A and B are shown apart, each in its own frame.
Chain A
Amino acid sequence: MRARISSLRDHVLARHLAAALLGLVVVVMVLESVSDYRNTQLASMAYLGIAAGGLTVLTGLNGQLSLGHGALMAIGAYTSALLLPDNESSLPLSVVVLVAVVVTLAVGAAVGLAAARLHGPYLAGATLALAVAVPGIALYFKETLGGEQGLRVVMPDIPVWVLDAVFFVTGQDLTRSRFTAYVAWLTLIVVFVLLANLGAGRTGRRWRAVRDDEVAAELAGIDLGRARVSAFMVSAAAAGAAGAILAFTVKLAAPSAFTLTLSLTLLAAIVLGGLGSLAGALIGAALLTFLPSVVTDIGTDAGLSDIQAAELAPLVYGLVMVAVILLAPAGIVGSLRGALLRARARRRTPASAEPPATGTTSGTGTTTDPHADTTETAGTTPATTSKGTAS
Chain B
Amino acid sequence: MTDTTTEKVARPHSAAPPVRKTQAPRQVRLRRGLTPWLFLAAPLILLITFTYAPVANMVAYSFTDWDGVSPELSYTGAENYAEIFTRAELFQVFFVSGYYLAASVVQIAAALYFATILSFNVRFRNFFKGVLFFPYLINGVAIGFVFLYFFQDGGTLDSVLRLLGVESDRAWLGTSTSANVSLAGVSVWRYMGLNFVLFLGAIQSIPGELYEAAELDGASRWHQFRYIIAPGIRPVLSLSVILSISGSLSVFEIPYIMTGGATGTETFVIQTVKLAFQFNKTGLASAAAVVLLLIILAVTWVQRRLVPDDKVDLV
- Is B truly associated with A? no
